[in-house]
Amino acid sequence: MTLTADMEDELKVAMLHHVRYEITHCLIIPAWREDAPMLKEAIFLSFFVHARNLIHFFERERKDPTQDDVYASDYGFPRRDISLAADDRMRFGKDMMHITSRRERHTTITKPWPILQTYSALKPVGYDFSQHIVRNFAPRLSVAERGAWMELSSLLSSPSAQLICTKEEPKLPETTRGK
């Protein structure tokens, strides 16, 4: 579906569910264990994929009306530069999604992913955007979606450098809950 600078209001509101998904899955990180390196890698790879999507979402503006990407500016939120060092930013491209010889440039010091730097750069922008949505779009959201945005905004309101981790509890089927 093609979006234009004047996205249909209904489509714009419908897309907010997807935007919230990206922010939530980037900035609310599942707990990991140091003794489970594959689990830790999967959690942080997921974080970086969602971070890459959000950097694109917050930093760019619509230039081509036939383009179907959705941007924060489509919601009246000003474009924001995410402050990441050039070396950290480069990691979101081929380092993350391709096997290239350039990976050999890393040492034991530079190899770890810039998790805290990326998280700290994105969290305040994610919070500001969530506040913008609650203030400007809440009446047009379903009760459940409005509540989800309000909950996300509340979670993100803590200090900007703090990493929000959550331990997920297994969800029981509806028929067995409370028994």
52-84 pLDDT per residue, tens? 999 999 998 888 877 789 999 999 999 999 999
pLDDT of residue 1: 47
The Cβ-side half-sphere exposure at 172, using a 13 Å CA radius, reads: 6
pTM: 0.82
Question: What CA–CA distances, in Å, run from 175 to 169, 171, 172?
Answer: 17, 11, 8
What does the domain layout of the chain look like in residue ranges?
9-176
* Contact predicate 26/47, CB 8 Å: yes
Q: Could you tell me the pLDDT band of residue 7, with boundaries at 50, 70 and 90?
A: low
* Contact predicate 139/13, CB 8 Å: no
- From 33-37, 53-57, 154-158, 166-170, the region with the lowest mean pLDDT: 166-170
pLDDT of residue 80: 95
Exposed / middle / buried, residue 44 (Cβ in 10 Å: 0-12, 13-18, 19+)? middle
pLDDT of residue 32: 78
Tens-place pLDDT, residues 143-162: 999 999 999 999 998 765 46
